[in-house]
Amino acid sequence: MGNLSDVQIGQELKINPVNNDIYTKTYHSQILNIGKRELRISIPYVNGRLIPLGAGTQIKVIINSETFDSEVISRELGHEKSLIIATPHSIFRGNRVNNKTKVISITSGKGGVGKSTLSINLAIAMSKLGKKVCLIDADLGMANIDVLLKMTPKMNLTHIINNEAENIFDVIVEGPEGVLIVPGSSGWQNIANLKDRQFQRLIKAFNELEQYTDIILFDTGAGINNNIINFLLASDEVLLVTTPEPHAITDAYAMIKVIMEQKKDLGVKLIVNKTSTPKEGSNVGNKISFASNKFLGVSMEYLGCVQENQSFIKSSKNQTPILQNQPNSKTAKEIKDLASSLIGEKNKPSSGMVGFIKKLTGLFKK
């Protein structure tokens, strides 16, 4: 097919993913918009299930009985779910396929610091910045991401492990701004006792997920125990959330100490939540950084703070992320700045989701 002169908005087309072990069928879609180098098409559904082809997926497109090679440039999972695909002779060859997903665990030394609410808003902010984000609820005792987002998921990770779900997308729930949510379960707690076939199902599931995500955020439990520490040690980066409250500062330092005793080169970044002013946040950050440098011999990076105000409190009570409810508020801007810092930095190569699972399993079996 040389050009798209005969193609119209609303016209149906078929797409066939190339060399894709997950999606092997012919899928029906519809043209939503036509550009010089790209088409915006509807995301296909099969039996009511979303087929979320990720950026970089190579496809064959059939329009008017003619076929051309194309590629998924980007994906929108918000209000109007769509794919942007390249027009004939305009394949972008995006590098999503060649990059490994970055795995970031978000943790805290104690409960009540607003970690899960911050995790949700960071995921939304990263998605707004163009990243494909998955938020996984890994709090083994108090999983609550679904509650904070008013969700009622039917499946979780245990269904994958027990072969009760066909693939990871049967478990995933779509959250705000297209963020993919994996609901919490006790499956993580039992990872050390998985049989080989169950472990292989887990590897397969996250291999599938890695093809469609740039960043995976794990919202871990709070406090210091082996389960949580194992998650942190297996991650590419760790975000440690604390508040200006003295006990929270003490517990954050204790968490840093435990991590550094086992893996000094792990990138740990500090976020001070619920501050009254930015200065209070930087004072807490500097205090923890100074103690870490003096007594542990490690440099602790202070990423920033999030101020507590009535809009943030009200948003949390209403179970509505402030990035959606009040996107132009001061608090929302602070969270966007944190997300921008995390996305913009150049870090060591990521091990990817499968690498994370293998490291995590090894740690649990020690």
Do 51 and 45 contact (CB within 8 A), yes or no?
yes
Mean pLDDT by 10 residues, the chain (366 residues): 73 89 87 86 86 82 88 76 80 51 92 93 92 86 82 86 84 87 74 75 78 88 85 92 96 94 88 96 95 90 91 80 90 94 74 82 76
What's the sign of the alpha-carbon dihedral 13, 16, 22, 25? positive
Do 252 and 108 contact (CB within 8 A), yes or no?
yes
Do 352 and 100 contact (CB within 8 A), yes or no?
yes
Q: Give the pLDDT of residue 32.
A: 94
What gap in Å lies between CA 215 and CA 332, rounded to an integer?
20
CB atoms < 10 A from the CB of 47, how many?
4
Residue 215 makes CB contacts below 8 A (sequence gap 6+) with: 101, 102, 104, 126, 131, 132, 133, 134, 343
**Paired residues of 182 in beta bridges:** 136
Where do the domains of the chain lie, and which CATH numbers do they carry? 12-96 (2.30.110.10), 99-364 (3.40.50.300)
Q: Give the pLDDT of residue 109.
A: 92
Q: Give the pLDDT of residue 73.
A: 79
Residue 207 makes CB contacts below 8 A (sequence gap 6+) with: 353, 354
The strand pair at 38-42 and 82-86 is best described as antiparallel
The side-by-side arrangement of strands in the sheet containing 180-182 is 173-174, 180-182, 133-138, 215-222, 102-108, 237-242, 267-275, 301-307
- pTM, to two decimals: 0.74
Burial grade of 349 (CB within 10 A; 0-12, 13-18, 19 or more) = exposed
What gap in Å lies between CA 304 and CA 49, rounded to an integer?
39
Do 280 and 312 contact (CB within 8 A), yes or no?
no
Burial grade of 255 (CB within 10 A; 0-12, 13-18, 19 or more) = buried
Do 205 and 331 contact (CB within 8 A), yes or no?
no
The strand pair at 267-275 and 38-42 is best described as unpaired
Do 134 and 52 contact (CB within 8 A), yes or no?
no
